[in-house]
Amino acid sequence: MGETPIDDRELRNLMTLYQRADPAALEELVRRISPPLLRYFAWSGPWSSNGWSQAGRNDTEDLLQDCWIRIHRARHTYRSTEPVMPWIYAIARHTRLDAYRKRRRLESREVLVATLPERFHQTVPDTDREPDAFERLVASLPESQREVIVMLKVSGMSLEEVANATSSTVGAVKQKAHRAYATLRRALGKDRENAG
Amino acid sequence: MPDNPLGAELERQLETWAASQPDAELSEEIQRNVQAMLKSSLTPVKPLPSQSRLILTFLVVFAACTAGVTAIMDKTGFHLATRGEIVWMTAILAGGGILFSHALAWRMVPGSRHAFPLPFVLALSGLGVIGGIALLFPWRTSRAFVSEGWPCAVMELTIAVPAAVVFCLLARRGALFGEAGAGAALGGLAVVLALTVLQFQCMFQQAPHLLVWHAGMAAILIGSGALIGAASRHEV
């Protein structure tokens, strides 16, 4: 399921040095792990449809910073005998879920107004670029399936590692991936028919 | 490997999508902010002990607390029960203690492989306790079912709550997320401890009493633990 973009052995060494308070290891970890994390937040959350706009980008960057604070606080729970990415993604997943719940709570408290003031009456005003057709397809997948696809394809994690990161079983991860593939294959087939 | 052209096309598209990182280019500013923020509180930390050591710690505390509380309490149940009832119930409850210790220890480390998933632990412990009581103890009840029963439920609560606090203190070094599973695992371990003590203390060694007032209360307490866990949004 894709090649591993980050060498786990190197990450384990960096994590061990990070636990010993090596600032260079911390810098290197932030540099290496942040891009896949940013991608995970951009694609896994309920706001992924905004993933290409500045608004969505701000959300993901906030999540990334929050996630790093949590990683920092929990760094003593990492054991050098275990792979790094499932540990990182398990924390990232909770960061995302907590942010989602917080967002839902805030939204439920919002007071509805009949009409929005003129200057706020824009949905996604600052779109950087339009998502392509395949990105739209991936974004249309259910959240849990998209999360599995991102971990498998973007981070190159194994089925077992994804299962550990999501507190799930290998069977459940396989099933989600299989369903996501089936949905994407069906949609691609439809696109082809329409084009043909 | 994809077995049809559409599968191969999907695989190719996914590879391209995964390789392209237009949304994931980390701005220098964010990267610097994160690094500066973390560096300001960068101190050496001692990694958690191994999984087996964590489990052993929970089990030693479980055994010590059970023995200690049993020693200071009345042991009528121990004298009334048959040898078979004592041996089997002790084995079942000790098994529950081992399973919940595993579940709690695994939850302390994010992304670790769960040897026993929590639903399995809950199901097996529940079946063990209910099955053990139903098969080992006589099915008779007295007229004072409620008045005999509620002191046992209160006693179980009185033992389980401090036990949960003790296990919470032991587990606090781990990255326990505020979630139902962590609450249920912690509550489960405390409840099994309370059930073990109560089994030796209770003078009503009959299946209906044990099922309703001991096992029923245990289920309520584990459920409450899960609810408290879910409600407490404890940030790591």
Q: What is the DSSP string of B3-50?
A: -SHHHHHHHHHHHHHHH--TT----HHHHHHHHHHHHTT----PPPPP
How many domains does chain B fold into? 1
**CA-based nearest distance A103→chain B, Å:** 14
What is the band of B160 on the pLDDT scale with cuts at 50, 70, 90? very high
Parent domain of B201: 51-231
B169-199 b/e with 16+ CB inside 10 Å = b?
A: ebbeebbbbbbbbbbbbbbbbbbbbbbbbbb
Q: What is the pLDDT of residue A164?
A: 87
Instruction: State phi, psi for A127 to the nearest 5 degrees.
Output: -65, 125
Residue B213 domain-assigned (yes or no): yes
The C-alpha atoms of residue A67 and residue A36 are separated, in whole angstroms, by 12
User: How is residue B40 annotated by DSSP?
Assistant: T
Chain B contact present for A99, CB below 8 A = no
Interchain pair B37, A65: CB under 8 A: yes
- Other CB atoms within 10 A of residue A81 CB: 9
The SS3 call for residue A127 is strand
Residues of chain B with Cβ-Cβ distance to A76 below 8 Å are 45-48, 173
- Mean pLDDT is lowest, of A36-40, A50-54, B64-68, B132-136, for A50-54
Q: How far apart are the first and last CA of chain B?
A: 40
The SS3 call for residue B143 is coil
Q: What is the pLDDT of residue A141?
A: 86
Non-local CB neighbours of B49 within 8 Å, separated by 6+ positions: B57
Find the length of chain B. 236
The C-alpha atoms of residue B49 and residue A79 are separated, in whole angstroms, by 8
As a whole number, mean pLDDT of residues A31-46 equals 82
What is the band of A117 on the pLDDT scale with cuts at 50, 70, 90? very low
Residue B35 domain-assigned (yes or no): no
What is the pTM (predicted TM-score) of this model?
A: 0.80
Among B10, B45, B235, the residue with its CB nearest the CB of A70 is: B235
Residues of chain B with Cβ-Cβ distance to A75 below 8 Å are 45
Q: What is the pLDDT of residue A13?
A: 93
Residues of chain A with Cβ-Cβ distance to B24 below 8 Å are 35-36, 38-39, 42
What is the band of A118 on the pLDDT scale with cuts at 50, 70, 90? very low
CATH for A8-109+129-195 is 1.10.10.10
Q: Which residue has the tokens 């799930």?
A: A168
Instruction: Report angle CA B207, B208, B212 to the nearest 5 degrees.
Output: 115
The C-alpha atoms of residue B2 and residue B38 are separated, in whole angstroms, by 44
* B interface test, pick of A167, A173, A178, A192 with most B CB neighbours within 10 Å: A167
Instruction: State phi, psi for A53 to the nearest 5 degrees.
Output: -100, 165
Residue A53, strand partner residues: A127
DSSP annotation string for B48-106:
PPPHHHHHHHHHHHHHHHHHHHHHHS--HHHHHS-HHHHHHHHHHHHHHHHHHHHHHHH
Residue B185 domain-assigned (yes or no): yes
Interchain pair B44, A82: CB under 8 A: no
Residues of chain A with Cβ-Cβ distance to B110 below 8 Å are 74, 77, 87, 90-91, 94
Q: Which residue type is seen at B221?
A: L
Residue B65 domain-assigned (yes or no): yes
A residues 113..142 contacting B (CB < 8 A): 129, 134-135, 138
Residue B223 domain-assigned (yes or no): yes
Chain B contact present for A169, CB below 8 A = yes
Burial of B40 (0-12, 13-18, 19+ CB in 10 A): exposed
As a whole number, mean pLDDT of residues B187-199 equals 96
- Other CB atoms within 10 A of residue A34 CB: 21
DSSP annotation string for B103-158:
HHHHHTSTT---SS-HHHHHHHHHHHHHHHHHHHS-----TTHHHHHHHHHHHHHH
Find the length of chain A. 196
- Mean pLDDT is lowest, of A131-140, B37-46, B55-64, B122-131, for A131-140
pLDDT above 90 (res A61):
no
Instruction: Report angle CA A17, A19, A20 to the nearest 5 degrees.
Output: 65
Question: Hey, what are B22's tokens?
Answer: 């237009």
Between A118 and B197, residue with greater pLDDT:
B197
